[in-house]
Structure 1
């Protein structure tokens, strides 16, 4: 039932084809993930990582859900569910405006592609780690995590929604925006390789 691209209603197969046709910027690598089985009758999932010069800067998940019967809370038959994570400089993580700025990156990415959507929900979490004892030589670490979901107005534009999310992930990684005429501030690049 969750075998994307093979089974499912035409609208779901069309949306999955749009995801597979999407080509994000060179620093973003997409790979298939097992789809969640309990969230909807049909699902397609992708993992993403952002990297330059062999260094991973951010990662995340993009899941497209489909329930032909519709979901009242989605206000539709499709739902996009995402996760984006990136390490931050500890000083930047302390900025009180960081959650609002990070959320605006998502909505601006969708708006820049003129994608209609509704019922956007999410959380922005920042966490910090300090190390002690035998780990004291490690520098302090901070991480940004953005979880978001929204209902695409037109599931045939699923590829555009994926590309908008990839743009958000690149911003979380601190990459400069692709040239599109907008004035977007990227996060400063963080120090050292991403730690699991």
Structure 2
């Protein structure tokens, strides 16, 4: 990932807008806030091509948590905006995410793992005092076993969180997207097994993660 660490790199390729309409001021302000956010030094973030059919306006980014040249977790965050609102959102903005990381094999058998991982998402938002509604999503764990030429690799288990939520809009009609981005980065760092960077307390416990590369 080619972005400078610890900040969101600018790039028009992360924006999808309706071709026949000018960009609404609220959406532009929300995107500007994302692009100006200062983040943890372990984060590498780049704009990426957003989806075209979920909303008239969209902005997307992809990120990785990197420590000692190892990618510990990665994800994608999409900001959607429909000036007319959508019934399922109960608002005019929506945030959609995919987050994934590898876990130590013994952690994957924990029957409470899905509930814990979901609490990481809601806890990251609540830990920063962010108002949000209509959160929904899935937590999936998948195991891989290697054979043949890959038989020397130890089994791997990946956890994946797919989720969306509606950020509450401020008095200016724009949600605090920079703070939501910071909370999302908190989630990525937590699923990567990193300790909290500051005083934010999500009230949930991190599980140990695989920190080193797998054998070839």
TM range (shorter): over 0.9
Q: What secondary structure is seen at the aligned counterpart in 2 of 1:84?
A: strand
Does structure 1 retain, via aligned residues, the 8 Å contact 2:128–2:200?
Answer: no
Per the alignment, residue 53 of structure 2 pairs with 38
Number of residue pairs matched by the alignment = 193
Partner residue of 1:69 out of 54, 59, 84: 84
| CA RMSD between the two structures | 1.9
Does structure 2 retain, via aligned residues, the 8 Å contact 1:55–1:194?
Answer: no
Quick one: distance in 1 between partners of 2:200 and 2:85? 37
Per the alignment, residue 9 of structure 2 pairs with none
Q: What are the superposed Cα offsets for residues 103-128 of structure 1, whole Å, 9 maximum, x if unpaired?
A: 11111110111111100001000000
Q: What secondary structure is seen at the aligned counterpart in 2 of 1:131?
A: coil
Does structure 2 retain, via aligned residues, the 8 Å contact 1:84–1:146?
Answer: yes
Q: What secondary structure is seen at the aligned counterpart in 2 of 1:106?
A: helix
More deviation in 141-150 or 175-184? 175-184
Per the alignment, residue 166 of structure 1 pairs with 185
Partner residue of 1:54 out of 69, 75, 80: 69
Where in structure 2 are there 5+ consecutive unaligned residues?
1-14
Quick one: distance in 1 between partners of 2:214 and 2:57? 33
Where in structure 1 are there 5+ consecutive unaligned residues?
none
Q: TM-score normalised to the size of structure 2?
A: 0.84
Match runs of 1:1-196 below 5 Å: 2-3=16-17, 7-154=22-169, 155-180=174-199, 182=201, 184-193=204-213
What is the Cα deviation at residue 135 of structure 1?
A: 2.1
Large movers: runs of 4+ above 6 Å:
none
Quick one: distance in 2 between partners of 1:70 and 1:28? 32
Distance 1:14 1:53, change over 3 A: same
Quick one: distance in 1 between partners of 2:23 and 2:168? 19
Does structure 2 retain, via aligned residues, the 8 Å contact 1:18–1:156?
Answer: no
Q: TM-score normalised to the size of structure 1?
A: 0.92
More deviation in 64-73 or 127-136? 127-136
